A and B are shown apart, each in its own frame.
Chain A
């Protein structure tokens, strides 16, 4: 028995070793339910179509993690990574990613503009905005401005600990049109205006670090309204029978993109995989399982209204929404965070 076990594990080890030598395409997502959906929609069917094996693993972001792999030299170990907009921007500038050969992406013309960049191919859209509990607030706020209206809706307001999204929402709450938010925020007066608006809810401000906390604050009634992420709201409604509402007008949507790490030995297969994952048919399958919006607009056609209404890219939802300006945040995150920290500490 013992000997048998040793032989089995030894041969298994050698087999794995063999796999590692001619390394299979390795794709990195963010884990959890979204990655299960990716496995069904992208990894497995691509493996069958291309006759190749796809290994998937997860990470939790941070351009530093990618830098360490690429700058170690040689094979970075990962081929395709799902990265957030700022990581795509900063990592691309640092040369951590291969440039995308867009001629190889067949359905490029059907992708939303934010999904197309030098180093990244957008794969999902997700939104940050205001949410409230309809059971507690009744009619509820219909605009971001109500988030800043303590007279009409008393109670605590929870925001993520940091200036990103908070300053955008403050300006929208102060009456700036979504399309002009970053123009205003690029001026010192605009930044002052955003902080002045936040100041009005300062006594009732709660800060959270993770998306799970924001929903917990809302569920316990500790916060009357919270900043949160759209898929969290739908998930809480479905699994916990909540009656939370996400306010789409004035919400901020961002795109996660596939990037190919520099020096990947599977560059060609990686690009083929990204092409496959950008197809409308595959994105439809993905969206049916998790409430992230597709980046391929044709994918929306295959979805029922029940799913569509919860997606960032759905017509009525995106109409008055704002695209996250990752360039702005890559440039200004430090001075604005420092000011934000001073603001919350006072």
Chain B
């Protein structure tokens, strides 16, 4: 009997579980592998990497390494060098062209007597240590270079890990979560009174108001961002009204900065805060509040000690929903923000599409996910739904 029940539950859950594995677990695993995988160079330069083993990064390159390189360059057709050249170019800007023209030159004439003399005659950069160091650091097959880079860390020549000379991604990560937390806070402050009010109305009157609340969800995020630009820009109605009422003397910068980002994101995410809270509040029996009042509690004490604890789960759900959505935003900040308001999501896109550096994009994703899970965990602890259940019991 017991087993059959478990079997039934398992069968019912199977479609959802396999869906989750397919769209969540597998992509996350692929993302993680992509962030540490480094096999592109190894695939086309196996002999060179072997010959370079034990090479002192400053010593001149021995002849047999050039010979191994020439064999590697000839072994793979020119058309299959793109990914490796791209990978070496990440180590050393310009390496792409050095390697690809080397492949083409060898394809045309062959290396002849001395591969070293041949390659140096074609491109003197083969005589500099830079390109060889690039090959050594991209030898793979695994690397934590990109995960380090996503944290602005870099492995130094002596093997220790230290902060990179130019730090970018830490600040962006911090900024992303500051924006997400701010939006969550603003949504909570704006949404809580609305939810309390809606929950206090009879169903018949609350329904049309809920509909109004949902209305913005039917417009695309893009359109709403554009609308905010029109409203908030210097010549927009908000600034014109402020000028007309002589509240300000010159237009205030309300868009293309953090103000614009917070306003536009709060507008999009507010319904996701209100709806779960409203749901939780509706289930609180009215007569409990009356009972508290008749026992002498002031309205504030009733609200804080009877009402609020019971809608804690709703508040938690709203906060997590808003925080999770807000952390992943990038189109809205790209449109209504300035240079210092761009969020991590847009840099993942830039790394993948503009730099052609999927490993860095994946590493940024991994770092983001780790920090995100940590923050969500903290949020869970703080707003633990179990706590409210215990109080209610």
Identify which of B235, B339, B356, B357 contacts A221 (C-beta below 8 A). B235
* Contact string against B for A residues 191-215, beta-carbon threshold 8 Å, 1 for contact and 0 otherwise: 0000000000000011101000100
Among B166, B175, B235, B256, chain A packs the most CB atoms within 10 A around the CB of: B256
Is there a chain A Cβ closer than 8 Å to B143's Cβ? no
Give A261 to B356 CA distance when docked, in angstroms: 19
- Residues in A with CB closer than 8 Å to B166 are 338-339, 342
Is there a chain B Cβ closer than 8 Å to A94's Cβ? yes
- Residues in B with CB closer than 8 Å to A161 are 334, 339, 342
Give A161 to B338 CA distance when docked, in angstroms: 10
Shortest Cβ distance from residue B45 to the other chain A in the assembled complex, whole angstroms: 16
A 291-346 contacts with B by CB, 8 A: 327, 330-335, 337-339, 341-346
Give A216 to B233 CA distance when docked, in angstroms: 11
- B355 with A334: CB separation less than 8 A: yes
- A93 with B100: CB separation less than 8 A: yes
The A interface, classified by DSSP as helix, strand, loop or mixed, is helix
- B233 with A222: CB separation less than 8 A: yes
Identify which of A94, A96, A205, A222 contacts B235 (C-beta below 8 A). A222
Identify which of B168, B256, B334, B357 contacts A342 (C-beta below 8 A). B168
Identify which of B335, B340, B354 contacts A337 (C-beta below 8 A). B354
- Residues in A with CB closer than 8 Å to B97 are 327, 331
- A344 with B350: CB separation less than 8 A: no
Please report the total number of A residues contacting B with Cβ < 8 Å: 37
Shortest Cβ distance from residue A142 to the other chain B in the assembled complex, whole angstroms: 26
Is there a chain B Cβ closer than 8 Å to A162's Cβ? yes
Give A331 to B93 CA distance when docked, in angstroms: 5
- A341 with B168: CB separation less than 8 A: yes
- Residues in A with CB closer than 8 Å to B334 are 161, 209
Give A216 to B94 CA distance when docked, in angstroms: 37
Give A343 to B168 CA distance when docked, in angstroms: 10
Is there a chain A Cβ closer than 8 Å to B213's Cβ? no
Known A62-B353, A93-B81, A94-B79; judge A331-B94 contact (CB<8 A): yes
The B interface, classified by DSSP as helix, strand, loop or mixed, is helix
- Residues in B with CB closer than 8 Å to A221 are 234-235
Known A207-B339, A222-B234; judge A334-B85 contact (CB<8 A): no
Known A161-B334, A334-B355; judge A93-B339 contact (CB<8 A): no
Is there a chain A Cβ closer than 8 Å to B144's Cβ? no
Give A343 to B166 CA distance when docked, in angstroms: 11
Minimum CB distance partner of A341 in chain B: B168
Shortest Cβ distance from residue B101 to the other chain A in the assembled complex, whole angstroms: 10
Known A207-B338, A345-B339; judge A90-B90 contact (CB<8 A): no
Known A93-B96, A95-B79, A220-B233; judge A334-B357 contact (CB<8 A): yes
- Residues in A with CB closer than 8 Å to B86 are 90, 94
- Residues in A with CB closer than 8 Å to B235 are 220-222
B 221-265 contacts with A by CB, 8 A: 229-230, 233-236, 256
A to B CB contacts below 8 Å, 25 in the list:
A64-B352, A91-B82, A93-B81, A94-B82, A95-B78, A96-B82, A161-B342, A220-B236, A222-B233, A330-B96, A331-B94, A331-B96, A331-B97, A332-B93, A332-B94, A333-B356, A334-B93, A334-B355, A334-B357, A335-B93, A338-B168, A341-B342, A342-B168, A345-B172, A346-B340
The 10 closest A-B pairs by CB, nearest first: A94-B82, A95-B79, A344-B339, A334-B355, A345-B340, A93-B82, A332-B93, A222-B233, A331-B94, A331-B93
Chain A contact residues, CB within 8 Å of chain B: 62-64, 90-91, 93-96, 161-162, 205-207, 209, 213, 216, 220-222, 262, 327, 330-335, 337-339, 341-346
A-B contact sample (4 more), CB < 8 A, given A95-B77, A334-B355, A345-B171: A95-B79, A96-B82, A339-B166, A345-B175
